[in-house]
Structure 1
Amino acid sequence: MVKIAPYGTWTSPIAAADAAAAGGGLHWVDLHDGRPWWAEGRPAEGGRVALVRDGQDLLPPPWNARNRVHEYGGRPWVVLDTPEGTRVAFTNWDDQRVYLFDPDDPRPVPLSPEPPRRHGYRYADLTAGPGHAEVWCVRETVTGDARTDVRRELVALPLDGAEPRVLAASHHFMTGPRLSPDGRHYAWIGWDHPRMPWDGTELCVAEVGSAGHRVLAGGDTEAVCQVEWETPAAGGPPALLALTDPDGWWNLFRIGLDGTRKNLAPCAAELGGPMWRLGNRWFAAIGPGRYAVLRSGALAVLDERSGTVTDVDVDLPVWHAHLAVHDGVVVSGAAGPLAESAVVSLDLSTGVLTEHTSGDSALPVDYLPVPEERVFRGPDGDVPAYVYPPRNPDFAAPDGEEPPYVVHVHGGPTGRSAPVLDAELAYLTSRGIGVVAVNYGGSTGYGRAFRERLREQWGVVDVQDCAAVAQALADEGAADGDRLAIRGGSAGGWTSAASLTSVRTYRCGMVAFPILDLAGWTGAGGETHDFESRYVEGLVGPWPATADRYAERSPANHVDRLAGPVLLLQGLEDEICPPEQADRFAAALDGTGIPHAYLTFEGEQHGFRKAETIVAALEAELSFYGQVFGFTPEGIAVLELRR
């Protein structure tokens, strides 16, 4: 029998612990000898990343296959075929060194030298060097005490224990090198401050053993995001396959060593994505002239002969950028609105989809929200969003009551929300709180022009787009206009805080590991890491020429303008958005009379990985909404709010 109860008071079988159990995620799916390998987050094991082959763990705790290159990390492992047999090289979080082991007798031994200071060398985007006798990768070297004191090189790590060898140092930022099939050339992608890798990068190629290189594609306003060597026809010249966007959309090009290029299937669609982490693969060759690609996250097949990109009819609509292909079978991670991420393989000839890990959620399906894809109107044009209404078969709200709604802001800001099962959102919607995930101007998946709506407009366009969506839901009666909230982490935390200090749309907000003071987030300010230390110059304006703009938009300078209560969440080991800014913001709130709470978590970096942290944060957020919106969640400890 359906019970009548106010929104927010509904009881649900989806607990915060369930959201924590689903919070690990799958990473870096690949194939070797036709067998799937992947990395897998383990919240219950302190958030470590396990390395898995065909469903079997290869390394016990405390081994943690993760690295901190760019602080977001990159591809942390590679399988090598050596004369002694199969070997695996991987990066270990604790000391950031590269280790080597036999997967059938896993006793890792260090391959890279011990650094002169903790985490002084960091490695990522591992790949096989000539004859699989070396690991080729990116190396970061810490050169000083400032967060921006980092140098990068492409290096070779010989398996025989010899000293690392520098391959190239062409740019301040570089991806891992890719060796040509004939072993004569290698290619990589590089870029320099102040550009971010979705703004402009360069595709470089060099002869093995040569000190020089040539640039074949890219530039200040063209961003190459993936490059692979094409297997040439017998006697044919070597060529590269690259995702790049000279026409405003990431399309797949063939690029000759002489610089000639051909778009294999011109289309107004994004087949690539932003390089937040090094080593993603948005395309993989199926056979001559055919490629598995991701069209804004959906699996598709690009046929060079017909010049077409055709979506693959499959139950899981969102695929991860870890595509690998073997004998016509595509392997990756995939997810859907009612299915968690799973490692899957799809036989393109038969259409048979095989799950190597279960995507079936332990969460009861009747309580899961089904996203509705919507397009709203914002001040600068269309704003895509996914609406997750409250859903619980056991409850209904009293007649005339409209649900509270939370605007969920993705990170980045050069990121996006996708229609996949998110247990944290289900935790809220199954209790009667609606959620809308907004792909505001600046999000990826909609072309460069949409992405660049945010240029010099961060804190304006994102704020206005989110507010427009929230207000539209209230105007149409889907949401209670007096009970709107906003939530987000990282850049989403910025937009949440900027919204609360610049518009009156929301009653309250949850702000996690945020940017709050733009001046501190510049290279001169020293309060962020090297990778993003000049990101704000494109998002806000040149520094220090537009310093007034930085000051005006920063929530840290406008605590007095807050529209309502704030919940702050912060990891204490965060090097991307360090605690300093959240500390100052919380201190400024004390004594203002504005209800607030500030929760910090030992051992957490950027984004929460430990099960106990995820549980504490989610239950605190629910209690917070209850106190602001006037309902009491059952079975949840009351979060103490300060004033």
Structure 2
Amino acid sequence: MQLAPFGSWKSPITADAIVADSIGLNSIVLDGTDIYWLESRPQEAGRSVIVRRDANGQIEDITPPEYNVRNRVHEYGGAAYTVLDGRVYFSNNSDNCLYIQDLRSPDPKLVTQLTHDTKKRYADLTIDTHLNRLICVQQEHDSADFEPLNTIVSINLTQPHHVSTLVGGCDFYAAPRLSPDGTKLAWLSWNHPNLPWDGTNLQMANVSNGYLAAPTSIAGGANETIFQPQWLSDDTLYFVSDRTGWGNLYSWCDGKVTPIYELAAEFSLPQWVFGMSTYALVGKHRIVCTYSQNGVWHLGLINTLSSHFTPLHVPYTDIASVRAVDNLLVCCAASTTQTNEIIAIDLLTESREVLKRSNRVKIDPGYLSIPQSIEFPTTDGKTAYAFYYPPTNRDYQPLLGEKPPLLVKSHGGPTAAASNQLSLKTQYWTSRGFAVVDVNYGGSTGYGKAYQHRLDGKWGIVDVDDCTNAALYLVKQGLADGDRLAISGGSAGGYTTLAALTFGDTFKAGASYYGVSDLIALAKDTHKFESRYLDRLVAPDPDNSPIYRDRSPLYFTDRLSCPIIFFQGLEDKVVPPNQAEMMVDALKAKGIPVEYVTFADEQHGFRQAANIKRALTDEFAFYARIFGFQPAPNS
């Protein structure tokens, strides 16, 4: 072992290795014995491709090279495709149109009009085989002067381009789900100022001659969140509700809602994107499900007749996109030592098969930092949570008495959560001699509704306090150098980063990835989905509430005294570039070291390999200059 200062350790986990063979995996769809998923490929300029594994185990790309399977409904998209009987229906990112692709004739054909409908976007596709049509969410952007119009529509497949509105009048819709016999349609809706994790309505209407009768409310409301409605039979609907303070499973039948299994755990996710799935039906009386406790995901089977719960012992701590057919479970899964992968599990034998890995780079375990779940005291006698990663590299040990620099990660959302799944980006830091703490501050999901509501009216306070107290806790434990504390975050995490650097003096440097600096501008400039988000997080009426200005880092740059690096996509519609540019200009005027790195062809979040690599290496080089260590060459 070599003696060397923290931060200067040479690591095989390079930025090139991270992006060279790394893909995103999500959105599993089952079509009989064929398994489909979506791959996001940084090496192809972030293009998303539908991939199929057939019954013989052969894996092939389905999407032709000129197409990119993605939608931007609510800007974040999701559920951009579906499959039935070998026909693929998908949204193409470049023109927002829907296409149908018969695998026997792989050239996609337009379903919606190319010249007229480019201002319309489609998500959450359901196939109505009884009437040969698609049912989906449509978002129409006809005028810059008005909010986009959201509806549930049907698209006739016999006469393509013929679109009819089925449901309208609410601000938002999701999850249109047709009963097996085609006689009932269920869906979710919600209105401003709610977001789908604040309160949603689950409604159902009878279908007659393709049209809907008057809807019936099944569950939900302004303060009850409903997640993933799914039909078991023609008269029984399953869903997740947080009515008890935890997102648990329920059934609706004959007008009656019944709990399926109650547990102090989360069976739901914040619905940032369409098509999320945490459970699947296995026959008539079993549900395979994933649930989160203290930030860690588990897998189990519920017998709905006896309410008996059977844990499934799998080596994964993060599980998503749960689908099942017969006794086969297919899902996305990851662990503290394994990046995300598509896996198939035989529910009878619990045998597992890996179908695709998100990264095939082999890392010696001696370079991997295993996260530790920690609880630490924070403001007002509360407890907060995080995953702590110690610096780890089998080839090095630190100088005697030296404490490592600490990077505090603030996740986005803020209604989201940090995961303990293996992230090579995190290991990039720890294998070079940084400690990392990924904080699930108050407001994070996975710890119950009360913990999530800790952030109500206190965004910029609770999250900042919890990130700061995580750093101070680790310093007190002797696990971090109090003079070399950095904080980094993207989007809402970028706001927490900027607020922590502006309104406190704990951190000595920071990195903001497409982060918010001006809450007033954000409330006025952001897209429809999040346009009233701050009503709950900050206060209603940004024009007349002084809180917005008081918590906006941009107006208090005189309090800043440490360097910041900014990363920004110039096509970002969620957090527009002016949010970063106003802050950068203010810091330059004050003479504080600042760097501004832009990517002309990126939106909210970076999808291209070269940009992901540059952001990671630039952030590391920035801290090296600030904290005064020499990075190892070519590592």
CA–CA distance in 2 between the matches of 1:445 and 1:310?
21
- Please state how far the C-alpha of 1:168 moved relative to its aligned partner: 0.9
Residues 1:395 and 2:393 aligned together: no
2:112/2:161 contact within 8 Å kept: no
Matched with 1:191 is 190
Matched with 1:640 is none
2:520/2:543 contact within 8 Å kept: no
Residues 1:264 and 2:268 aligned together: no
Residues 1:551 and 2:549 aligned together: yes
- Please state how far the C-alpha of 1:563 moved relative to its aligned partner: 4.2
Matched with 1:499 is 500
Corresponding residue to 1:240 among 229, 237, 247:
237
Matched with 2:630 is 632
1:486/1:496 contact within 8 Å kept: yes
CA–CA distance in 2 between the matches of 1:300 and 1:559?
50
| Superposition TM-score, scaled by structure 1 size | 0.94
Residues 1:228 and 2:205 aligned together: no
Matched with 2:178 is 179
Corresponding residue to 2:279 among 279, 283, 296:
283
Matched AA of 1:327: D
CA–CA distance in 1 between the matches of 2:517 and 2:634?
29
Matched with 1:122 is 121
CA–CA distance in 2 between the matches of 1:358 and 1:424?
16
Corresponding residue to 1:274 among 270, 274, 284:
270
Q: Aligned runs of 1:607-622 on 2, under 5 Å?
A: 607-622=605-620
- In the alignment, structure 1 segments of 5+ residues that lack a partner are 233-237, 638-643
Describe the SS at the equivalent of 2:339. strand
1:342-380 CA deviation, whole Å, 9 max, x = no partner? 110111110101111136741413212211111111115
Residues 1:465 and 2:463 aligned together: no
- Please state how far the C-alpha of 1:162 moved relative to its aligned partner: 4.8
1:567-624 CA deviation, whole Å, 9 max, x = no partner? 0000011111110111111111113121110000011011100000011101100001
2:561/2:592 contact within 8 Å kept: no
Matched with 2:560 is 562
CA–CA distance in 2 between the matches of 1:446 and 1:621?
31
Residues 1:74 and 2:78 aligned together: yes
How many residue pairs get aligned? The number is 620
2:23/2:359 contact within 8 Å kept: no
Describe the SS at the equivalent of 1:598. strand
1:170/1:190 contact within 8 Å kept: no
1:323/1:331 contact within 8 Å kept: yes
Corresponding residue to 1:217 among 216, 219, 237:
219
Q: Aligned runs of 1:190-589 on 2, under 5 Å?
A: 190-208=189-207, 209-231=211-233, 238-258=235-255, 260-296=256-292, 297-320=297-320, 322-358=321-357, 361-365=360-364, 366-380=366-380, 381-522=382-523, 525=524, 527-544=525-542, 547-589=545-587
CA–CA distance in 2 between the matches of 1:595 and 1:241?
54
Matched AA of 1:228: Q
Change over 3 Å in CA distance of 1:154–1:594 after alignment to 2 = same
- In the alignment, structure 2 segments of 5+ residues that lack a partner are 54-58
Q: Aligned runs of 1:58-137 on 2, under 5 Å?
A: 58-81=62-85, 86-114=86-114, 116=116, 119-131=118-130, 133-137=132-136
Describe the SS at the equivalent of 2:261. coil
1:121-174 CA deviation, whole Å, 9 max, x = no partner? 10011111133721111010003115x620011111122215111111141100
Describe the SS at the equivalent of 2:289. strand
Describe the SS at the equivalent of 1:438. strand
Matched with 2:10 is 11
- Please state how far the C-alpha of 1:70 moved relative to its aligned partner: 0.3
Change over 3 Å in CA distance of 1:361–1:436 after alignment to 2 = farther
1:136/1:176 contact within 8 Å kept: no
**Cα RMSD after superposing both structures:** 1.6
Give runs of ≥4 in structure 1 deviating > 4 Å: none
Describe the SS at the equivalent of 1:225. strand
Residues 1:165 and 2:167 aligned together: no
2:113/2:161 contact within 8 Å kept: no
Change over 3 Å in CA distance of 1:466–1:98 after alignment to 2 = same
- Please state how far the C-alpha of 1:211 moved relative to its aligned partner: 4.8
Describe the SS at the equivalent of 1:27. strand
1:74-116 CA deviation, whole Å, 9 max, x = no partner? 20111123xxxx2111000000100111124310111012254
- Please state how far the C-alpha of 1:31 moved relative to its aligned partner: 1.1
Matched AA of 1:419: N
Matched AA of 2:468: A
CA–CA distance in 2 between the matches of 1:599 and 1:45?
21
